[in-house]
Chain A
Amino acid sequence: MTTVPASWYAFLGVLLFTIGALGVLVRRNLIIMFMAIELMLNAVNLVFVAFARQQQTMDGQVMVFFVMTVAAAEAAVGLAIILAVFRNRETVNADEVNLLRW
């Protein structure tokens, strides 16, 4: 059984990260944008794991837990904020949230 080289995972991670980033750029729905950000964070997790495997250390794996925790915290606050916006504006469309500009 051939092992997939660790760097492939790293590249996959970066690819997922890019997809996530593009998702933030192109999707109009705030919830989906937020999910794209989550995708970015998790992509980084993959990168961490890949490097950890490559370096033969556990450190990278541990990082993932930190990141997941942080992501969870962000999700809590983030969703609350989006909820607040929706309550006041009745929209979750990023285009329509542009009161503050110039």
Chain B
Amino acid sequence: MAALTFPDVAWLPLLPLLVITGTTLLVLVADLFAEGPDYDALGWLGLIGLLLAVLTAVPLWNQSGTTLGGTLVLDRYGLFFTILFCVGSGLTVLLSMNYLETTDIRCGDYYTLILFSTIGMVLMATSLDLIVIFLGLEVMSVAAYALAGIWRTQVRSNEAALKYFILGAFASGFLLLGIALVFGATGETLLPRIGEVAAKGSAEQRLLLSVGAALLLVGFGFKVAAAPFHSWAPDVYEGAPTAVTAFMAAGIKAAAFAAFVRVFVDSLGPLAGDWRGALWFLAVLTMTVGNVSALVQRNIKRLLAYSSIAHAGYLLVGVVVGGESGSAALLFYLVVYTLMTLGAFGVVIALGRRGQPHEDLDDWAGVGLRSPFLGLAMTVFMLSLAGVPPLAGFMGKFYLFSAALEAGYVWLTVIAVVNSLVSVYYYVGVLVKMYMAEGGAEVETAAARPYLFATLVAALAGTLLLGLFPTPWFELARRSVESLAS
């Protein structure tokens, strides 16, 4: 009998993940000792952990390698997303500290769940194995289901969680079946080997593989809220606590795209001929449905949900285009989108008060003039989402559309552009309410909510910075994508 030797594991690639996991467990344990009703300390703990994770991730930028039998990988792509998720989750935590005061959510689990979800995201972005990706996705999702319903006394929160859960599990089933079929076709769940089969496999294998790919598409499409798999998003975004909605819009979507690109653009790239056309339609459908539906919304969270669907459509353009430029543009856009959307939801939170969520657009009348900072912030976020220069959202669209045009997708670009035009109407509609309508809703001063204020400033600064000086950030995205191709 062989000696029980500790398996030879390369720890380095796991470092950020381990830091986050450690933090999560720490927060989980600390929760036992924390005393309500104020759980800010837990939030701070989580924030420190996330910061630490970023700090450990940064020095790894020039490293590469795999670990745990090739299921997890250390590459720039993974690091890029790891940092993005940490930033996104960090900002969400920051937002939440002030947000939770306005709700009945009084449990430390909130932060734990966010961190758990972050673990899942990082797994999704750094894994090379379909099953691990699935695991990551489930870790992320299950935590998110719980988060959506964490305001237990709120009927809407319940309903959101329920819908999210039922549909999420339903879609997971398809994703899983897809993985099974891919496994059936290749005998593998490791992405690099699947790629080989996709490139050189027999016709039969490829057929099974492409059916599997279709089902994978459903699974990822659901998570990114692509039409026609988007229908959960408006309801869930509206019903979930606002900070959670922000988290879903920013983090979960990005994570889904991280896996999406790795699986499709990288491994299944050789099959692109099969799935590209389908994605083309999905992209067009998604952005159109998102934008057109958003036109008639009166609830700001629901509006932002549809906006989020529309943006998924733009992001899908990046997947359709693929290649270095398409993927890099997509990554850049994800960063931008995370900032914009977190900022926008931040403003939504800032306008809410205890018992008065102020989610109806009519409650926003005149707010921009009464609270100049919030007005300015929302203006910047809305215009950035609409793609008005020189804000980050515009640069994101610019990179995306340039990539698409260069790859010859002229019509796709034109449709996307027309869609942005439609979107201007409702984004600007928000500003109309804020600045041009008369109303009397009270707004709390920024000083009363320092964390929220800090989040908004950070998102604002990011949105401006990435708009005015996008080059270094885009280079980061490009270098990250480069590491995929290896």
A and B in contact, CB less than 8 Å: yes
* B-binding residues in A (CB < 8 A): 10, 13-14, 17, 20-21, 24, 30, 33-34, 37, 40-41, 43-44, 47-48, 50-51, 54-55, 57, 59-60, 63, 66-67, 70, 73-74, 77-78, 80-82, 84-85, 87-89, 94, 97, 99-101
Which residues in chain B, 169-193, are within 8 Å of chain A measured between CB atoms? 169-170, 172-173, 176-177, 179-181, 183-184, 187-189
17 A-B pairs besides A24-B170, A37-B166, A37-B170 with CB distance below 8 A are A33-B166, A37-B173, A40-B177, A41-B173, A44-B177, A47-B184, A63-B183, A63-B189, A66-B135, A74-B172, A78-B145, A81-B161, A84-B158, A85-B161, A94-B166, A100-B160, A100-B234
- A interface, by DSSP: helix, strand, loop or mixed? helix
What class of interface size applies to chain B in its complex with A? 35 or more
Q: B165 near A: Cβ within 8 Å?
A: yes
Q: Which 5 A-B pairs have the closest CB atoms?
A: A40-B173, A100-B235, A51-B184, A55-B187, A47-B180
A59–B183 touching, CB < 8 Å: yes
- Which of A14, A70, A80, A99 is in CB contact (< 8 Å) with B155? A99
Q: What A residues does B169 contact at CB under 8 A?
A: 34, 37, 41, 74, 78
B134–A66 touching, CB < 8 Å: yes
CA of A85 to CA of B161, assembled, Å: 9
- Which of A10, A17, A57, A89 is in CB contact (< 8 Å) with B158? A89
CA of A44 to CA of B258, assembled, Å: 24
Q: What A residues does B184 contact at CB under 8 A?
A: 10, 47, 50-51, 54-55
A88–B160 touching, CB < 8 Å: no
Q: What B residues does A66 contact at CB under 8 A?
A: 131, 134-135
CA of A63 to CA of B182, assembled, Å: 13
CA of A17 to CA of B165, assembled, Å: 18
Q: How far in angstroms is the closest Cβ of chain A from B135?
A: 6
Query: Please, could you name 30 A-B residue pairs with CB atoms under 8 Å apart, sorted by A?
Result: A21-B170, A24-B166, A37-B166, A44-B173, A51-B180, A51-B183, A51-B184, A59-B189, A63-B179, A63-B180, A66-B135, A70-B134, A70-B135, A74-B142, A74-B172, A77-B165, A78-B165, A80-B149, A81-B146, A81-B165, A84-B158, A85-B158, A85-B159, A97-B162, A99-B239, A100-B156, A100-B163, A100-B234, A100-B239, A101-B235
Q: What B residues does A34 contact at CB under 8 A?
A: 166, 169
Q: B238 near A: Cβ within 8 Å?
A: yes
Using known A-B contacts A37-B169, A40-B170, A84-B149, determine if residue A70 contacts B162 with beta carbons closer than 8 Å: no
CA of A90 to CA of B146, assembled, Å: 20
B138–A73 touching, CB < 8 Å: yes
Q: B152 near A: Cβ within 8 Å?
A: yes
Output the nearest chain A residue to B298 by Cβ-Cβ distance.
A102
Output the nearest chain B residue to A25 by Cβ-Cβ distance.
B170
B183–A81 touching, CB < 8 Å: no
Output the nearest chain B residue to A86 by Cβ-Cβ distance.
B158
Q: B153 near A: Cβ within 8 Å?
A: yes
A63–B162 touching, CB < 8 Å: no
CA of A36 to CA of B177, assembled, Å: 15
Using known A-B contacts A40-B170, A66-B131, A66-B135, determine if residue A88 contacts B145 with beta carbons closer than 8 Å: no
CA of A37 to CA of B153, assembled, Å: 26
Q: How far in angstroms is the closest Cβ of chain B from A71?
A: 9
Q: What A residues does B146 contact at CB under 8 A?
A: 77, 80-81
Q: What B residues does A50 contact at CB under 8 A?
A: 184
